[in-house]
Amino acid sequence: MKILFIGDIAGRGGREAVKKILPDVKEEYSPDLVIANAENLSHGNGFTPEHIEEMQKAGVDFFTSGHHVWGNKSGVLKLNDPKFPVLRPANYPSPNTPGRGYEIIEDGMMNRLLVVNIQGQVFMRPHVDSPFKVIDRILQETAHENLAGIIVDFHAEATSEKYTFGLYLDGKVSDVVGTHTHVATADAHIFVNGTAYISDAGMVGAYDSSIGVKKDLIINKFLTQMPAKHEPETEGKMVFGSVLIEIDEKTKKALDIKQIIKFT
Q: Catalytic residue positions?
A: 68
**Residue whose C-alpha is closest to residue 185's, from 158, 210, 152:** 158
Give the amino acid at 2.
Answer: K
Whether the Cβ atoms of residue 49 and residue 78 lie closer than 8 Å to each other: yes
Q: What is the DSSP string of 143-187?
A: TTS--SEEEEEEE-S-HHHHHHHHHHHBTTBSEEEEESS----S-
Q: What is the DSSP letter of 98?
A: S
Angle at 217 between CA 231 and CA 229, to 5 degrees: 45
Cβ atoms of 175 and 195 within 8 Å: the answer is: yes
CA dihedral 39, 43, 45, 47 (to 10 degrees): -50
Q: Which residues contact 15 (CB under 8 A, 6 or more apart)?
A: 9, 41, 51, 54, 55, 58
